[in-house]
Amino acid sequence: MTRTLSELREIAEKAVPGPWKAQAWGDGSNSEDCVNVTAPESEITLAEDVHFPEAAFIATFNPQVVLALLAVAVTLIEQCSCRVGPFSKQVTVCDGCTARAQLEAAGVAV
């Protein structure tokens, strides 16, 4: 599924604000090392019984982090200074072009 930067921003803005936290539940005796992802400030459980690596990922990339990363990507892309001359075979690639290529490779339409 391809999404645009605007769609990603809209999704992040509608989500429960962070910070989010991956925390063990119960007495910690769960043999599968599953945890819950919560939004402590709003007391909302966002995901239940998630293995810790995935829970840590979800908690880390809360809406504020995603919005900040999107802002950086947009700024880099807008400041793109790459130029290709009509008779030149040399291309200068800036951070904006790199960001664009990485986003497009991840299925994000820029």
Residue 75 lies in a domain: yes
- Does the pLDDT at position 92 exceed 80? no
Residue 33 lies in a domain: no
Domain of residue 96: give its range: 64-110
Do residues 34 and 50 lie in contact, with contact meaning Cβ atoms separated by under 8 Å? Answer: yes
Q: What is the mean pLDDT of residues 59-84?
A: 88
In terms of pLDDT, which residue wins out, 66 or 43? Answer: 66
Residue 73 lies in a domain: yes
Residue 37 lies in a domain: no
pLDDT in tens, 7-65: 999 999 999 998 999 988 665 555 567 889 999 888 889 988 888 899 999 999 999 99
In whole angstroms, how far apart are CA 66 and each of 23, 24, 34, 110? Answer: 21, 24, 24, 16
Residue 80 lies in a domain: yes
Q: In the chain, how many domains are there?
A: 1
CA distance 48 to 32: 13
Residue 41 lies in a domain: no
Residue 101 lies in a domain: yes
In terms of pLDDT, which residue wins out, 109 or 27? Answer: 109
